[in-house]
Amino acid sequence: MPESVSTHPNVTQICDSLRARVDLDDDDRVIGTQNTQKPELYGWTGDIGWHVDNKGDVYFLILSDSTGVLFAEGETPISYSQGDVIRMNDFTRHRVEQNGLAVGLFMGAFEYGDDTKAINALTEAVSALTEQYKSNYDNAPRWEGSPLQDNECYIWHFDEECNYERTLLERATDTQGMILTCSHDGCTKPASEIDHHFPYMSDQNRCTTHQRGLR
Ligand SMILES: [Zn+2]
């Protein structure tokens, strides 16, 4: 694992968030995925009890310098460490024993996994995490749905589907789009959490400071 992966802002973001969760319940000690079928950052801290995710074949690649054991019902336990890739059908009940935190790349879920395709995509994703953050912003995997980092924002291009794009703040100021901002009294920071009724309403837009819940 290239050393520079651990200092990529997307990786430090998820590590920091996991460190703040060590005393929470199992559900909150896992940072989950959006199942985009592209490499996504995810992680957990401490042991996670038996559960099923019921999505399909998934791949994960351990990025952090940490070790643990994956138990899946009816299978021999697998000890994992940095750089390992595991394929799992997550309809199978599973649990992990983990010392400290683990951060990995996740890819899935698939009805049938394709090992070659997955390994290629995961390898490219690792390489993207070794490159300069800003110049390779679009290609680097992230914790999907993560709170905005300080140099990011969402912009809306006034399209009817109301898609908003996550991008670098410095890039957004050059576009015709509208930067979504926090609706908390007097706050002008970019919104990290967007009102579910946007663009009809934006009262619930919140920056990372005024966002509720875990971040
Ligand atoms: Zn705010």
In this predicted complex, what is the ipTM? 0.98
- pLDDT digits 0-9 by tens, 61-109: 999 999 999 999 999 999 999 999 999 999 999 999 999 999 999 999 9
* SS3 per residue for 31-87: ECCCCCCCCEEEEEECCEEEECCCCCEEEEEECCCCCEEEEECCCCCEEECCCCEEE
Distance of CA 45 from the midpoint of ligand 1 (Å):
29
Average pLDDT, the chain: 94
CA of 121 to the centre of ligand 1 (A): 36
For the chain, the structural domain boundaries read 3-128, 148-215
CA of 141 from ligand 1 middle (Å) equals 26
Query: How far away, in angstroms, is 185 Cα from ligand 1 center?
Result: 8
Q: How far is the CA of 158 from the centre of ligand 1 (A)?
A: 22
Distance 205 CA to ligand 1 centre (A): 8
User: How many Å separate Cα 153 from the centre of its chain?
Assistant: 16
3-128: CATH topology is: Jelly Rolls (2.60.120)
Pair of tokens at residue 98: 């983990």
Q: 194 CA to middle of ligand 1, Å?
A: 12
34-65 residue pLDDT tens:
999 999 999 999 999 999 988 899 999 999 99
Distance 1 CA to ligand 1 centre (A): 37
At residue 12, does pLDDT exceed 90? yes
Tell me, what's the pLDDT at 54? Answer: 84
Model confidence at 214: pLDDT above 80: no
41 CA distance to ligand 1 middle (Å): 26
> Residues within 5 Å of ion ligand 1 by Cβ?
182, 184, 187, 189, 207, 210
Cα 172 to middle of ligand 1, angstroms: 18
| One-letter amino acid of 174 | D
Over 80: is that where the pLDDT of 162 sits? no
Q: What is the pLDDT of residue 56?
A: 94
| Residue 176 pLDDT exceeds 90 | no
Tens-place pLDDT, residues 136-158: 999 999 999 999 999 999 999 88
User: For residue 208, how far is its CA from the centre of ligand 1 (angstroms)?
Assistant: 7
At 173, is the pLDDT very low, low, confident or very high (cuts 50, 70, 90)?
Answer: confident
